[in-house]
Every structure is written in structure tokens, then in C-alpha cells.
Chains A and B, each alone.
Chain A
């Protein structure tokens, strides 16, 4: 019995350093940031005059700039396409490599190694690759390659394209939404930022090796007997995948979503080095706005508000998931 309590104490002692460190360096700072967001702090000297939700109101208005609203839209675009891109691409590559082709090691290394590069370098290189050139001066980058390969119709402005895909308020659907009181949904701030797709390409290039490795390991972990059994039962290859394999790798997908999700919400280095804020903030992200407004504009309170909003969004999305998975494990 004494052994058990002693072990309990030690177990606590082992995690205690982490608890203390996280309490101070994460939650303590979150508290400080949240508090600062409600103040008027806009100079080097902290100025904690309480101004309530003024900073938050400023962020969500379109005057003087609608930068934050653009950021939110861009983050949604980026997160969705990045997650889908990495997962689909990683899975596809894993399926191909699962065939035990010759030279698998080399292929694997090639797909994995972009992870080793820093985001800043990725951003610089992909900026060069996706620079569109102009019709007068000639194409550059990948547009140039498209021209040379006879694929000129694929040419695009990439991240210089400031167009958004959204429900136009004057379109039929937009009018309908206005009818039922949801007119607010037909706005350029709720849509897909096309320029962001370029950033998604660069980020997916970087991280799809990670999802590929995870899926490959998971595929290898599925006992062949299961696959054989399904085949013997007369299932086609596609059905084997859909009925047997995909459900078994669901945990991998969920794990990937968490890891990739946290990267996409905090994405900063890549955007700064690749596109900057973009035409009419088409590729701006909250972390960049936070950086700009805090350290260039000296508006610490506004930067704190952006950080707090980001964390709130994360909390709303992630915590229920985490709580439910850990609870289900306890029950199991």
C-alpha cells in the first residue's frame, strides 16, 4: 500500500515541473495577454488604462482597414485547404509507396526532406517559383514552365490574384440569403482567398512528407490477413481501401489534424517570407497582423487582442475534441 502512495507522489513529482512551467509560460502569459487586450497600451511604457472591448471592436470594423476580417477569412481558407491537401497528398503517396517499390527509401527521403527546411527558406523559394510575371514582360516561375510545356492555359496570377470566391450579395443566392436574414453571409470576408492557395501549395510541399510517413506506417501496421480476408470475400481493391483500411487509419488522420491545425493557426514565417500581406491583404494572417501592429505600430493592446481571439478560436475547436477523446479512453 505504501508503495502505491509513494508511486503516486513520484508520478506527481515527475509531471510537476511541466505543470509549473506551462502554468507560468503559457497560462500566465495568456492571462497577461488577455488583460493587455482590454487596455490602451500603445507605447513602450505599459499603459493599463481599461478601455473594455474597444480594441476588439476596432479589429472587426472595416475602417480604417479591414485587415483582421481578411485575416480570419484567409486563415479559414488556409486551414481547410492545407489540411485537406496534406492529408490527401500524404495518403496518396503512402498508398503508392506501400507497394514496396524498389528504391522506396529514396522516394521516401525525397518526400520527407522538405520538413527539414525552415519556413523562411520555403517561403523565399516558392515566392520565386510562383511569381507569375506579366503578359508584357513575359512569364516567370512556374508560368514559364507551363508555357514551355504547352500548358499555357494553366497560367495564373497565383498569389498576386486578389480575387475572392464568395457569395455575391447581388447574386440569386445572395438575395435569397438576405431574404431569410442571413445576408451577412454574402460578403467577401466569408469566402475563399484564391491567393492563399499559393501559400497552401508551399506549406503542403513542406508538411505532406509528415502525413505520408504517418500513413505509410499505419498502412504497414494493418495486418495483411485483414486485407487478404477482404479480397477473398470478393471485394475490389477500392472496396478494400474504403471498408477496411480507411477506418483503421482514422486515428492517424485525427492526430494529423491536430498537428497540422496548430501549424496553420500560427503560420507566420512562411507568409512573411513568401507573400507579405498580399494585394488587399489576400494572404495576410493573424500572426502577421499581430507582429506588425505590436512591433511596428507599437500597438501592444491591439496585438494582444488578436492573440486572445486566436486562442479563443482554438479553445472552442480543440478543447471539446480533446476532452471527449481522453474521456473515451478512460471508459475503454
Chain B
């Protein structure tokens, strides 16, 4: 494909890419180096310096509890898993259903429905916390992890629908038409034709949703008020004090909290790319 590219420009490309890498990895360096220092050594002036003594103490304190009487990230790590995994799966499924219907079964009003659904993406969550809590309380799921999953699913509907609708729009309508002629119904077409083709789309949506649910703080802190039920983002936030912050513990904790999403990106980035390639990018 690129056989016609002269060798000179390939090395220019490498130089540029490596430069970009250094810039992109700078913050990671700061996180790591600060996490490996002791509190006495942590300060803005010595930010770039390597720790005089490598110590994993901040990491263990972040994990098991920085102070007596307070739990660390370990307790809340599993909560994040319990919340993020179902939330991701359910909202992806919902998005897939919606995208399927809106792109292949255009009933009257479907073209108005799509923008209306999409508008939900823009609502600032800070402004709806109080009515949200009251509605959840009325339904009876306030204060539970199920309630938090429910919130993520509801507010994930717009973005998952957007991605899937674009993805399915790229799949030729003839496929669906042919099935209809063969006598298949709407659900049959979905399960037998479209769902098997959806894997790349699911990967894109699930990566996006996993990241936003795992990293969410606002809903987590408001809806799950009991400390034993809260996800890891709340625990990470609580590593800071009300007046001063132990930066080494904070940054070590941040790295720990980011690990699962990081691993998912590393292992699934190939599928992420093929998912985008398969047409979910079309506007």
C-alpha cells in the first residue's frame, strides 16, 4: 500500500510519532513518579525528579486505607465491577435495539424521535440531581447499586443509540429487505442477521460506556450513599482530605483506579479499530 513512500519520509514519520509519544506519556511519568515518592518528598518544585527511594508504600496505602478507620480502594473496587459490567452490557443492548429500529424500521416519527433521544446527551447532570434522587426514591431503587446501574443505563441511551444507529445505517438495507421477503420478522432479522454482524459496534459502544461508567463520580456519590456500596471513584476522591492532600497517595490511587480501563483499552484496541472501521464512524 505504501510501497511508493520514500524511505526518508518514513523516518520523519517515526521522529514525529516518537515526539508525540513523549508528550503523551509526560503525565503518566508524573503520576508514576509521584506515586513512588513519600509525602515529605512530594512537591511541585521536585516534580520531575526521580524519587530518592522507590517505595510502593503510597500504592499499598491507597489500596488498603490511608488512615486508621478508613477503607482504601480495595473495598470499592468490586463495587465498580458490579456496577460497570451490567451497566455496560445493558446499555449496549438497549442502544443496539434502538439503533436497529431507528435505522432499519423507520416508522412515522422515527426521524423526529432520533434527535429527541440524542438531545438527552446534553443535559448537565448537576442540574437534575435533586429530582433524580426523588424519582429514584419513589421507584425504590435509591441508595442501591441497581439504582446506579439504572441511571447509567438511562443516561447512556443517547450515546449508545447514536453509535449503533450510524453503525447499522452502514449495513446495506438490501440485507434486511431480503430477509423480509424470506418471511423473517423484525426480531428474527435482528437475532439472525444483524446481531452476529454487530460485534465491532458492540466493542466500540462497550469500551465507551465502560470508560464513562467506571470513571463516573457524580452519580456514584449521589446515588449510592452508603460507603460499602460506592464505586472506586468515590473512594479515590476520599483519599484527599478536606483541607490538604497527600499527593503521593492520591496519584498512586489514581493509577490503581485507572488500571482496569487501561487494560481493556490495551487488549481491545484492535477490535475498537475494526469496529470504527466497519462503519460506526459515519456521521
| A residues at B contact (CB < 8 Å) | 3, 6-8, 10-12, 14-15, 17-19, 21-22, 24-26, 28-30, 32-33, 93, 96-97, 99-101, 105, 107-122, 124-126, 128-129, 131, 133, 137-138, 140-141, 144-145, 205, 213-214, 216-218, 220-221, 224, 231, 250-255, 258-259, 262, 265-266, 268-269, 286-287, 290-291, 294, 300, 303-304, 306-307, 310-311, 314-315, 318-319, 322-323, 325-327, 329-330
**With known contacts A129-B26, A255-B166, A304–B127 Cβ distance under 8 A:** yes
5 tightest A-B CB contacts, nearest first:
A307-B127, A251-B283, A118-B215, A217-B276, A116-B261
When chains A and B are docked, how far (Å) is the Cα of A24 from the Cα of B117? 12
**With known contacts A109-B266, A214-B276, A322-B115, A117–B122 Cβ distance under 8 A:** no
**Residues on B with beta carbons closer than 8 Å to the beta carbon of A15:** 97-98, 101-102, 113
Query: Is B16 positioned at the interface, with any CB of A under 8 Å from its CB?
Result: yes
**Residues on A with beta carbons closer than 8 Å to the beta carbon of B211:** 115-116
Question: Is there an interface contact between A7 and B126, defined as CB atoms closer than 8 Å?
Answer: no
Question: Is there an interface contact between B258 and A101, defined as CB atoms closer than 8 Å?
Answer: no
Question: Is there an interface contact between B14 and A128, defined as CB atoms closer than 8 Å?
Answer: no
User: Which B-chain residue is minimally distant from A310 (CB atoms)?
Assistant: B124
User: Which B-chain residue is minimally distant from A267 (CB atoms)?
Assistant: B124
Q: Which of B106, B107, B115, B283 has the most CB of A within 10 A?
A: B283
Q: Helix, strand, loop or mixed for chain A's interface? A: helix
Question: Is there an interface contact between B97 and A14, defined as CB atoms closer than 8 Å?
Answer: yes
Question: Is there an interface contact between A252 and B283, defined as CB atoms closer than 8 Å?
Answer: yes
**With known contacts A8-B107, A10-B186, A129-B30, A138–B123 Cβ distance under 8 A:** no
When chains A and B are docked, how far (Å) is the Cα of A141 from the Cα of B257? 24
**Residues on A with beta carbons closer than 8 Å to the beta carbon of B31:** 121, 125
A332 vs chain B, min Cβ distance (A)? 10
**Residues on B with beta carbons closer than 8 Å to the beta carbon of A101:** 10, 13-14, 17
Query: Is B5 positioned at the interface, with any CB of A under 8 Å from its CB?
Result: yes
Question: Is there an interface contact between B127 and A18, defined as CB atoms closer than 8 Å?
Answer: no
Question: Is there an interface contact between B186 and A119, defined as CB atoms closer than 8 Å?
Answer: no
Q: Which of A32, A93, A300 has the most CB of B within 10 A?
A: A32
**Residues on A with beta carbons closer than 8 Å to the beta carbon of B250:** 124
**With known contacts A15-B98, A217-B276, A116–B5 Cβ distance under 8 A:** no
Question: Is there an interface contact between A125 and B30, defined as CB atoms closer than 8 Å?
Answer: yes
**Residues on A with beta carbons closer than 8 Å to the beta carbon of B154:** 21-22, 25
User: Which B-chain residue is minimally distant from A4 (CB atoms)?
Assistant: B180
**Residues on B with beta carbons closer than 8 Å to the beta carbon of A12:** 107
Contact with A along B25-36 (1 / 0, CB 8 A): 111001100100
Which residues of B from 163 to 201 have beta carbons under 8 Å from A? 166, 169, 183, 185-187
- What would 12 more interface pairs be, CB under 8 Å, given A115-B211, A118-B258? A14-B98, A107-B21, A109-B265, A109-B266, A121-B258, A128-B30, A131-B44, A141-B47, A251-B282, A253-B283, A286-B124, A322-B115
Question: Is there an interface contact between A26 and B94, defined as CB atoms closer than 8 Å?
Answer: no
Question: Is there an interface contact between A24 and B135, defined as CB atoms closer than 8 Å?
Answer: yes
When chains A and B are docked, how far (Å) is the Cα of A216 from the Cα of B176? 29
Query: Is B202 positioned at the interface, with any CB of A under 8 Å from its CB?
Result: no
Question: Is there an interface contact between B117 and A22, defined as CB atoms closer than 8 Å?
Answer: yes
**Partner pick for A11 among B101, B127, B158, B166, CB 8 A cutoff:** B101
User: Which B-chain residue is minimally distant from A12 (CB atoms)?
Assistant: B107
**Residues on A with beta carbons closer than 8 Å to the beta carbon of B269:** 105, 108-109, 112
User: Which A-chain residue is minimally distant from B200 (CB atoms)?
Assistant: A217
**Residues on A with beta carbons closer than 8 Å to the beta carbon of B59:** none
When chains A and B are docked, how far (Å) is the Cα of A294 from the Cα of B68? 34
When chains A and B are docked, how far (Å) is the Cα of A116 from the Cα of B213? 11
Query: Is B131 positioned at the interface, with any CB of A under 8 Å from its CB?
Result: yes
Query: Is B50 positioned at the interface, with any CB of A under 8 Å from its CB?
Result: no
When chains A and B are docked, how far (Å) is the Cα of A325 from the Cα of B165? 13
Contact with A along B262-275 (1 / 0, CB 8 A): 10111001101110
Contact with A along B88-128 (1 / 0, CB 8 A): 00000010011011100111000101111111111111111
A-B contact pairs, 15 of them (CB 8 A): A11-B101, A14-B100, A15-B102, A22-B120, A25-B135, A26-B120, A105-B269, A113-B266, A118-B258, A120-B237, A133-B45, A144-B48, A221-B279, A255-B166, A303-B126
Question: Is there an interface contact between A6 and B94, defined as CB atoms closer than 8 Å?
Answer: no
**With known contacts A109-B269, A115-B265, A326-B115, A205–B128 Cβ distance under 8 A:** no
User: Which B-chain residue is minimally distant from A216 (CB atoms)?
Assistant: B273
Question: Is there an interface contact between A318 and B119, defined as CB atoms closer than 8 Å?
Answer: yes
B252 vs chain A, min Cβ distance (A)? 11
When chains A and B are docked, how far (Å) is the Cα of A319 from the Cα of B114? 11
Question: Is there an interface contact between A213 and B254, defined as CB atoms closer than 8 Å?
Answer: no
Query: Is B155 positioned at the interface, with any CB of A under 8 Å from its CB?
Result: yes
Question: Is there an interface contact between B265 and A25, defined as CB atoms closer than 8 Å?
Answer: no
B62 vs chain A, min Cβ distance (A)? 12
**Residues on A with beta carbons closer than 8 Å to the beta carbon of B157:** 18, 21-22
Question: Is there an interface contact between A99 and B98, defined as CB atoms closer than 8 Å?
Answer: no
**With known contacts A17-B94, A128-B44, A129-B26, A287–B126 Cβ distance under 8 A:** yes
Question: Is there an interface contact between B117 and A18, defined as CB atoms closer than 8 Å?
Answer: yes
**Residues on A with beta carbons closer than 8 Å to the beta carbon of B169:** 329
**Partner pick for A126 among B17, B27, B132, B277, CB 8 A cutoff:** B27
Query: Is B2 positioned at the interface, with any CB of A under 8 Å from its CB?
Result: yes
